[in-house]
Structure 1
Amino acid sequence: MTQKSYLIFLTASLLISIGASAQATYKIKLTNLENKKGDVYIGWYTNSSDFMKPKKATIAKIVPVNGVGQVIISFEKVPAGKYAISAFLDENGDKDLNLSFFGKPTEKYGFSNEIRPTMRPAFFSEAAFEVNGKDGEMTIELK
């Protein structure tokens, strides 16, 4: 192996090992559950076309809640990157965020960055944040 090939191989190996180690633990606190019962669905998304589509979440958890005002959900080994989170409380067990006839959610929901649009859903770009390998935490107040 030539010296140039060796340096390229060494650099690539180093970058791969740095990328593999650039993982973080994130704690997401969901508040304003109002002591309701049901399952909280929380999804992490990496692009706008998948945002708020629970089956297309890059990282997802479903956590049962039973009469509490808030819950903390821990996500471990989150790879570095750009994410947006959406969460909702499924009170009736149908595994979906229910909407009124006019399209307004009838169950509690929230987004990363505390985005709260009044007449439309949040956009991925508004809710997006960076994970850079450092542990973090975030609070999302459901409304």
Structure 2
Amino acid sequence: MFKLPLMALCGLLMLSGCQSTSYKSVNDGNGEPTRLIVNISNVQNTDGQLIVMIHDNSGDYHADLNINDPEAKFYLKKIVTPTMPNTLITFENVPAGQYAINVIHDEDADGGLDRMLFPFTGMPSEPYALSNDVYDNFSKGDFEDALVEIGAPTSQIDLRLATHLKKVVGM
């Protein structure tokens, strides 16, 4: 008798904890053109590619689609060959404003972030980095917490690659 209402309540509680997403940019207008330098540290090998994505809305940030998927959208992206121990990537003429930046070390160059099947199903297995080093034990963390201010004429964002397991255990 109480199973269905209890299950429904649990489902509603889970949904209420989900992050809301919007495809509307957090930036109101066009800011001054800015040179954005993304410094990626802790690059452990030169396998595959580094995928750098800049997001101006939470919908695209949370989508986590493979870059080869026609539905994948980013405000800006670059794909570069990794260099050890750091890789510098420069974006020119980025309008000043707020953005969330994420990097995937796509070691097998398949266009996406690989995930574990065992023992931690769904946990990212390839190194990644997020602006403000945000992450959650079960997700990439809130878009709002990942936002960084990009200001003219030049801004630099430092990101450190690590696997999700290393982030969770503090390595």
Alpha-carbon distance between aligned partners in 1 of 2:30 and 2:143, rounded to the nearest angstrom: 25
Amino acid of the residue matched to residue 141 of structure 2? A
**Structure 1 runs of 4+ with >3 Å offset:** none
Please report the TM-score for the alignment, with normalisation by the length of structure 2.
Answer: 0.66
Greater relative contact order structure (CA < 8 Å, 6+ sep): 1
Q: CA RMSD in A?
A: 1.8
Mapping for residues 67-106 of structure 1, pairs under 5 Å: 68-101=84-117, 102-106=121-125
Alpha-carbon distance between aligned partners in 2 of 1:20 and 1:117, rounded to the nearest angstrom: 31
Which runs of no fewer than 5 residues in structure 2 stay unpaired? Answer: 1-28, 163-171
1:61 to 2:67 alignment:
no
Percentage of identical aligned residues: 28
SS in 2 for 1:75: strand
* Cα-to-partner distance string for 1:76-128 (whole Å, 9 max, x where unaligned): 10012221011101111211110112111110101011224333212211110
Q: As a proportion of its length, which structure holds more strand?
A: 1
2:30–2:96: 8 Å Cα contact kept in structure 1? no
* Cα-to-partner distance string for 1:37-56 (whole Å, 9 max, x where unaligned): 21000000011111044531
Q: Which has the larger radius of gyration?
A: 1
Residue 138 of structure 1: CA displacement?
Answer: 1.1
Alpha-carbon distance between aligned partners in 1 of 2:31 and 2:97, rounded to the nearest angstrom: 13
Aligned residues: 124
Which runs of no fewer than 5 residues in structure 1 stay unpaired? Answer: 1-18
